[in-house]
Amino acid sequence: MLKSNFQIQRHDYVSIASLAQQISSLASQITSYLSSNAHPEPSFEVGGGVVPVSAEYEALRVPLNDAALDLLRLINGPRNTLRNFLFSHYDLASLQVALDRRFFHHVPLYDSDNGDGAGNKATITEVAEKAGMDENRTGRVLKMLSTHRIFEQVPGEPDTFRHTASSALLARDADFHAMADMQMDDMIKATSETSTMITSSPLAADHQNHSAFHQRFGIPLYLYLEQHPYKAKRFAQAMSSWSQIDRQITDLSNSYTWGSLGKGTVVDVGGGSGHISIALARQFPSLRFVVQDISHHMLSHAESSELGGRVTFQQHDFFQPQPVRGASVYLVRQVLHNYNDADSVKILAALVPALEVRPSATRLLINDIVLPDSHSGGVTSKYEEHHLRQVDFCMMVALGAKQRSQFEFDQVLKRADKRFEIVNVWRNPLGIGLVEVRLASAV
């Protein structure tokens, strides 16, 4: 996670030659970085897809993405580029079928190989049988996914497929699979209603009853999850997987001085299954955590913890006054982005009496994406901004809500209580940042 004054220059690439030169230079720096860190060169093979997670690697990977994507746009021209873009829902449909019919578990992994190479592949007929669908469409799904290097045809055996690094990830990582499944199931269905939803209420922005999700399923997302325990479990797993991406937990533990809180209490407001508190509790053995959530489904997915009672769980509605007073930290993580400004103001205001007990020793930490904007800066690359905008759109579709910039956080905080003051911002160009807030009367 990077401090607020960190800015990445956005380049306007102009020529094929200059882009090619940048790509070549960045690619050789990546090769040197890999070899000097004894990191194996990434490949598409099973087990070959691990890339380094470090600030140095990101500083090369991100501009290489910008340059490579722009080079492709330039050499393909708008007609080919847009054609590809416009047809991408068919690619997603193939992934949707593969997830629905559990293709990723029907092709054996190298792990199960008995040594003769025969155990790591499956014919279209075998996959179709296990998936309970016809061979023709099974083959078409596998071939479509293979164009993205998700599965591949075994050389010399055109009707036989094996895993690649990407398909193996979906086979092995249950939480990542849950995230993919959630996106390709409810979220893609809801997303297709976005424009219809806007047409039906063109001026009613920012309300969960005017979200595409509501348009598609007839009820707000969290009520829907309460009514579908399997989907609530999948959601909790998806959130856990999401937190592994881009080092979110590492960033959160590194960016704030948790160690200085001594034997303090951290209240994890809307903490879901408690995965963040549990990770922090493992790292900071003096701290105690209270994970609060309205959903007993979420709390029931909470890991039984070996942490000697330092992580406790409490059912609580964060629109109601905060029952744990005078804690060291109130962590509000990936919650405000679920709400429009009016509701975010109510959630923040409900915390004020608890912060007033020991204002100088208490912090509110908002752990959410901090969007770039012209007021508070934070310019990112196009590649990075695209990620942030995708998640912002996700909030619009799912909940009629949004991600916020520092300026927008400041506005909702001040509406909740004029004494709220942002004291520090850690930006993360690829994901979740951190906003540290206090009640100014504490000074």
Ligand X SMILES: C[S@@+](CC[C@H](N)C(=O)[O-])C[C@H]1O[C@@H](n2cnc3c(N)ncnc32)[C@H](O)[C@@H]1O
Among 63, 139, 264, 270, interactor with ligand X by CB under 6 A: 270
Q: Is 387 labeled as catalytic in the residue annotation?
A: no
CB of 250 to ligand X, least distance (A): 15
Q: Least distance (Å) from ligand X to the CB of residue 299?
A: 9
**Is 294 near ligand X (CB under 6 A)?**
yes
Give the whole-angstrom CA distance, residue 272 versus residue 406.
Answer: 25
In the bound state with ligand X, the residue whose beta carbon lies nearer, of 295 and 381, is 295
Contacts (Cβ under 8 Å, ≥6 apart) of 64: 22, 23, 26, 27, 30
Which one among 108, 220, 271, 378 touches ligand X, defined by CB under 6 A? Answer: 271
Residues 156-174 as b/e (b if ≥16 CB within 10 A, e otherwise) read eeeebbbbbbbbbbbbbbe
Q: Nearest 5 degrees, angle CA 372-CA 61-CA 168?
A: 110
Member of 239, 261, 311, 413 binding ligand X (CB under 6 A): 239
Which residue among 276, 290, 388, 439 contacts ligand X (CB under 6 A)?
276
Measuring CA to CA, which residue among 343, 357, 365 is closest to residue 422?
365
Q: Is 431 in the site for ligand X (CB under 6 A)?
A: no
Select 20 or 249, whichever has its Cβ closest to ligand X. Answer: 249
Choice among 163, 297, 316, 337 that is catalytic:
337
Kindly state the smallest distance separating residue 338's Cβ from ligand X, in Å: 6
Count of residues that bind ligand X according to CB under 6 A: 19
Instruction: Please give the full DSSP string across 109-133, using - where no structure is assigned.
Output: PGGG--SSS-TTEEEHHHHHHHHTS
Among residues 19 and 412, whose Cβ is nearest to ligand X? 412
Cβ closest to ligand X, residue 165 vs residue 294: 294
Specify the residue, 30 or 401, whose C-beta has the smaller distance to ligand X.
401
300 touches ligand X by CB under 6 A: no
Q: Counting contacts by CB under 6 A, is residue 182 touching ligand X? A: no
By CB under 6 A, is residue 251 in contact with ligand X? no
Show the binding pattern over residues 316-345: x = contacts ligand X (CB under 6 A), - = does not.
xxxx-------------xxx--x-------
The per-residue DSSP string of 167-209 comes to HHHHHH-HHHHHHHHHIIIIIHHHHTTHHHHHHHSTT--S-GG
List of residues 6+ apart from 232 with CB closer than 8 A: 225, 226, 295, 297, 298, 301
Q: How far is the CB of 52 from ligand X (least distance, A)?
A: 25
- DSSP code, position 373: B
Is residue 402 at the binding interface for ligand X, with CB under 6 A as the rule?
Answer: no
At a CB cut-off of 8 Å and minimum separation 6, what does 277 contact?
266, 268, 271, 289, 291, 311, 331
68 and 75 in contact (C-beta within 8 Å)? no
- Active site members: 337
Binding site for ligand X (CB under 6 A): 222, 239, 243, 270-272, 276, 293-295, 298, 316-319, 333-335, 338
